[in-house]
Amino acid sequence: MAADTSPPRARTFPPRSRPWILTYHSVSDPTDDPYGITVSADRLDEQLTWLRRRGLTGVGIAALLRARAAGRRGLVGLTFDDGYADFLDEALPVLLAHGCTATVFVLPGRPGGSNSWDPLGPRRPLLTEEGIRTVAAAGMEVGSHGMLHRDLTALSDDELRHETHASRDALHRIVRQAPSGFCYPYGTADRRVAASVRDAGYAYGCALVPGALTGPLALPRTHVSHADRGARLRAKEVRHRLRYRSAGTGEAG
Ligand SMILES: [Zn+2]
């Protein structure tokens, strides 16, 4: 059954808090990893165990926002960027074992391709269209990472529209449900980019450090690496709560 990715109802967050959302990429052997974007399946298991001991359950972002709108706490958002094929064999079994869901941000313009935008490599295969459908069928949320993994802030208006609108249409065709979430490649967005994401029909947008943008179209996230274990995770959680404790209302512009 596909994840319920209907748009979250709330457009604002309670004051003094913003949801804590973790950012993963590849789940595989982390030894050749110049960008620090790989976590082993064992380490992911350890990190989810740590969260659970702290009373936190990982969920996809649409579910996270719906739960917060309903006043529910005790959740942390889990996101996997780029749509690496290893999600199915490495991450998914661990997530399911912990009773977690996640949002996987995929690139419908590169089905079955690789991360050729990373000049240092190593090359990692991306999910095929069938793989994207399998992710959705496993109960995970599928979101858009744009078509081709381009820096949206540097694109013309027409190119930007293609990355936001066409990727939503493509994912609608692939999983038969329009995605409610968008993740900005490289974590960067500005007002023009956020407006394009909103106009395409997405209910939320994930950044890394959203800068001056606020609201559901500029959700901040915490990058998680293979080195992150209890003390480091705790430090990242505290940093998130301090940084975003009073910036929780308002719309992205
Ligand atoms: Zn990415």
User: What is the pLDDT tens value at each position of the chain, 253 positions in all?
Assistant: 445 555 554 444 444 478 999 999 999 999 988 888 999 999 999 999 999 999 999 999 999 999 999 999 999 999 999 999 999 999 999 999 999 999 999 999 999 999 999 988 799 999 999 999 999 999 999 999 999 999 999 999 999 999 999 999 999 999 999 999 999 999 989 999 999 999 999 999 999 887 788 899 999 999 999 999 999 999 999 999 898 875 443 322 2
Determine the distance separating the centroid of ligand 1 and the alpha carbon of 81, expressed in angstroms: 5
Compute, in angstroms, the gap from residue 186 CA to the centroid of ligand 1: 6
Q: How far is residue 253's CA from residue 231's CA, in Å, rounded to a whole number?
A: 36
CB within 8 Å of 72: residues ≥ 6 apart: none
Q: Give the Å distance between the CA of 22 and the centre of ligand 1.
A: 14
**Cα–ligand 1 centroid distance for 198 (angstroms):** 19
Q: How far is the CA of 80 from the centre of ligand 1 (A)?
A: 9
| Tokens read off for 62 | 């649409």
Residues 6 or more apart in contact with residue 229 via CB below 8 angstroms: 43, 46, 47, 50
Write down the pLDDT at residue 246: 54
pLDDT of residue 93: 98
Q: Cα of 24 to ligand 1 centre, how many Å? A: 10
CA distances from 250 to 16, 202, 215 (A): 12, 17, 5
Q: How much distance in Å is there from the Cα of 110 to the middle of ligand 1?
A: 12
Å from CA of 71 to ligand 1 middle? 31
Task: Name the pTM for this structure.
Answer: 0.91
Residue pair 5/190 in contact (Cβ under 8 Å)? The answer is no
Ligand 1 centroid – CA 194 distance (Å) = 16
Q: Give residue 149 CA to ligand 1 midpoint distance, Å.
A: 6
Residues 6+ apart with CB under 8 A from 44: 24, 27, 90, 91, 94
Pairwise CA distance, residues 150 & 156, whole Å:
12
| Ligand 1 geometric centre to CA of 107 (Å) | 9
CA of 132 to the centre of ligand 1 (A): 16
- 84 alpha carbon – ligand 1 mean position (Å): 10
pLDDT at 20: 95
